[in-house]
Structure 1
Amino acid sequence: MSFCEEVRKETDVYWEGSFHHPFVKGIVDGTLPIEKFKYYMLQDAYYLKHYTKILAIAASKAETNEDITYFIQSAQFINESELELHRTVFKELNVTQQEIDSFEPAPAAYNYISHMYNAAHNGDVAEAFAAMFPCPWLYQEIGEKYKDAQPGVKLYKEWIEMYSHPDFKEKIEFQKSMMDRYAVENPKKIQLFKAHFHKSCYFEWKFWEMAWTLETFDSEVTHYDYV
């Protein structure tokens, strides 16, 4: 099996957990409370902002013109998408400027971004990509799995359509070939690549859980009565 085939099989528990998470299923059948989706989109905007920066770090470490171009263009595309997010989806969700200004990342989002920064700063371009790749790949599989869903909610339908689009699948196939190439070129780092990939798959599942429970740092604290 190729690297991507192996690592996809090894992390299947997280993928299945994502496919059937009540947050994802709520988007698919249209029952997800809109406030949970709003919370998710605010956290996702934070994620995308830093994902863009991590792509730029990867570009600075890439060694071929093809890879440099890929990471720079990807960073530009996501940065433009984030701006569009503020203009359209945030407006539809009635996100206020005060909410944007007072935003704080949830623990799961913060930890996920920290994990990817660690891989990008302390590793090479291949390590950075191993940590970044689960996100788009998972979303493409979710889109493919639920492409025929009719949630009856405009924002949810558009979300599914975005990730089920054939152009997005084509991008993921290209990214698979990149990851497999990095694995072939760096056989001694296979286990490290897998470790980064596994952690990101876990954090992808945690991202749904975070949005479903409206996680905050305060919600992580257990209160005791001290004598």
Structure 2
Amino acid sequence: MAFSDRLLEGGEPIWDAQKNHPFVRELAAGTLEEAAFLHWVRQDYRYLLDYARVFAIAGSKARDEETMTHLFGVAHEILDFEMDLHREFAADYGIAPAELETVEKAPTCVAYTNFLVRTAHEGSLAAIAAAIYPCGQGYLDIAEYMADLADGDHRYTPFIEKYTSEEFREAVDWMRTFVDRCGERYPGEREAMEQAFLTSAKLEHRFWEMAYTQEGWELETDADAP
């Protein structure tokens, strides 16, 4: 069994939880509340800035030129293309780029990006590979599930099409191969890879919840207390 398949097998309950989350199911049906989707757009925009940083840090740790080149290239692609997609989503709903750039991260977004950046700085290349994998494979798998659930086109169809596109599939294929290669080359890192993978997968699930509940930093005041 490929190491990436072993990771996915261990994360199957988390994948199932994601597929059953109301954000996912309602987006697939086109009935998701607009405010929840826009919360995802804003928070994922902030997430992607750090996701790009993680790829860049991974590139600096790579030992061969091909891997280094690809990782730096992915960082550039995220900044140059994927964030453009979020700006397009935002523009469709009247959100200016300047607003996206000043959005405060919600607690779950902080937790996820802090975990990724800390793993990138402190962990091995193998651990980084495992930590970034749930975002790629997860979005592909969830978007394919959404495509199966969807009954015709609706306002969220571009989201589904983006994450089931051939370009995105190719990106995920590379990530999967990267994980397998690290698992083979660094068998002593496999336990750390499993832990990194599962932590990111759990945070992926929490990210849907964060968007659906429009999580923020609201504080309970004395007046709110029972």
Query: TM exceeds 0.5?
Result: yes
Could you tell me how far 1:131 is from its partner in structure 2? 0.7
Cα-to-partner distance string for 1:131-162 (whole Å, 9 max, x where unaligned): 111101001111222324246433x1000011
Aligned to 1:182: 182
User: What pairs with 1:87-126 in structure 2 (closer than 5 Å)?
Assistant: 87-96=87-96, 99-100=99-100, 102-126=102-126
Asked if 1:38 corresponds to 2:45, the answer is no
Q: Residue 127 of structure 1 contacts residue 193 of structure 1 at CA under 8 Å; is this kept in 2?
A: yes
**Closer/same/farther in 2, CA of residues 222 and 208 from structure 1, 3 Å limit:** farther
Q: Residue 87 of structure 2 contacts residue 97 of structure 2 at CA under 8 Å; is this kept in 1?
A: no
The one-letter amino acid of 1:162's match is K
What SS is found at the alignment partner of 1:218?
Answer: coil
Aligned to 1:171: 171
What SS is found at the alignment partner of 1:146?
Answer: helix
Question: Hey, what's the Cα distance between the residues in 1 that align with 2:6 and 2:62?
Answer: 24
Asked if 1:51 corresponds to 2:54, the answer is no
Aligned to 1:159: 159
- Give the CA RMSD over aligned residues: 2.1
**Closer/same/farther in 2, CA of residues 61 and 101 from structure 1, 3 Å limit:** closer
Q: Residue 28 of structure 2 contacts residue 147 of structure 2 at CA under 8 Å; is this kept in 1?
A: no
TM-score by length of 2: 0.91
Question: Hey, what's the Cα distance between the residues in 2 that align with 1:100 and 1:170?
Answer: 28
Q: Residue 112 of structure 2 contacts residue 203 of structure 2 at CA under 8 Å; is this kept in 1?
A: yes
Question: Hey, what's the Cα distance between the residues in 1 that align with 2:5 and 2:82?
Answer: 31
**Structure 1 residues without counterparts, runs of 5 or longer:** none
Could you tell me how far 1:189 is from its partner in structure 2? 1.0
Question: Hey, what's the Cα distance between the residues in 2 that align with 1:102 and 1:84?
Answer: 16
Q: Residue 49 of structure 1 contacts residue 82 of structure 1 at CA under 8 Å; is this kept in 2?
A: no
Could you tell me how far 1:206 is from its partner in structure 2? 0.2
User: What pairs with 1:1-227 in structure 2 (closer than 5 Å)?
Assistant: 1-85=1-85, 87-96=87-96, 99-100=99-100, 102-148=102-148, 149-150=150-151, 152-154=153-155, 156-218=156-218
Question: Hey, what's the Cα distance between the residues in 2 that align with 1:113 and 1:168?
Answer: 21
Could you tell me how far 1:55 is from its partner in structure 2? 0.8
Question: Hey, what's the Cα distance between the residues in 1 that align with 2:67 and 2:113?
Answer: 22
Could you tell me how far 1:130 is from its partner in structure 2? 1.1
Q: Residue 45 of structure 2 contacts residue 83 of structure 2 at CA under 8 Å; is this kept in 1?
A: no
Q: Identical aligned pairs, as a percentage? A: 30
| Count of residue pairs brought into register by the alignment | 224
Cα-to-partner distance string for 1:178-227 (whole Å, 9 max, x where unaligned): 101101111111100000000000000000000011111226x696869x
**Closer/same/farther in 2, CA of residues 92 and 58 from structure 1, 3 Å limit:** same
Q: Residue 30 of structure 1 contacts residue 151 of structure 1 at CA under 8 Å; is this kept in 2?
A: no
